[in-house]
Each structure stands twice: as structure tokens, then as C-alpha cells.
Amino acid sequence: MDREYYVMQSEFFAADPENGVAAFDIQRGLDENPTYVLFNGKKGALLDENALKAKVGETVRIYFGNIGPNSISSFHIIGEIFDTVYHEGSIGGLKNKNIQTTLVPSAGATIVEFKVDYPGSYVLVDHSIYRVAKGAIGHLVVEGKEDPNVIRQGK
């Protein structure tokens, strides 16, 4: 692997903040309606200067965990296909190939590997897409030379 990253998704059930502190909201938890769904514990943790980085031609491995506590994650990187997905994070277990989105149960994990072939900013999401509005978004910024054959031939 050229790059390895750890990304954790978690849900927060918070009341409206008082004096900058948001208390736990049991009713939001019981309703399974998180206030926030975040990667690596805070909004913007994988955006801008905190974005994941790679170069064209590199192979990236992401250890992705879903802390929950309630919802399944539909982990996806917009514009990328996972070459290998290690089901439930088991390197010696079941491997799937050429996967777009992988389901990760609450309190579960997966490992995804892929080679980046084209420069750009790829978007990490939980493809329960409205969770983006609650904070579940990140970027993988890939630098390097464009190869128009990748787009034309679908390499």
C-alpha cells in the first residue's frame, strides 16, 4: 500500500447547545434521529486541509469503522470503485472485488483498497446521502498528471 487511512463514522444525539455545550438528547436516541453523523468525530474532519491525500497511480487502503451506535453505513467514495473489500474488516476472510458501496454494520468495520488513476477530489460519503447534511462527508484529494485514456477507455 502507498497510503493507509483510518476513517470512523459515528452518530451524535445532541440537544440544542447551551453556552457552546450540547448535552445528550435521549429522545433523539430513542427516535434514532442523530443530530450529527460524522467522520473522525467532527464536522470537516476530512475536508480542506484535513482531506485524505494520494497521488495518481498510488494504491490506497482505508480502514473504515462504524461506531454507530444505531445505523448501518453505506460507505462509498464518489468517482471510485473499491478494487478489494475485506468483509467486516477480516483480512484473512471474505474478499469482494470491484465494489462501489459497502455496508458496514453499527459497531462493525471494513477495509477497502483501490488504485487511484486520475487526479481530482473524490468524495467520501455514507450513501444514506442525507447524512452528508449531518456531517458525513470527506475528501480524498488525488494529485498528478491527467491521462485522458483513463476517461475514454474506462481503465
Closest CA to 125 of 62, 33, 56, 69: 62
Element spanning 106, H or E: none
Element spanning 26, H or E: helix 26-30
Instruction: Identify whether 119 is preceded by a cis peptide bond (ω within 30 of 0).
Output: no
In a structure prediction context, what are the per-residue pLDDT tens digits for the chain, which is 155 residues long? Answer: 999 999 999 999 999 878 788 899 999 999 999 999 999 999 999 999 999 999 999 999 999 999 999 999 999 999 999 999 999 999 888 899 999 999 999 999 999 999 999 999 999 999 999 999 999 999 999 999 998 888 776 55
Terminal-to-terminal C-alpha distance of the chain: 20
Per the structure, the complete domain to which residue 119 belongs is given by 3-153
Closest CA to 141 of 123, 121, 125: 121
Q: Domain containing 18 — which CATH number?
A: 2.60.40.420
Please tell me the total count of domains within the chain.
Answer: 1
pLDDT at 153 (0 to 100) = 61
Cβ pair 68, 11 in contact under 8 A:
yes
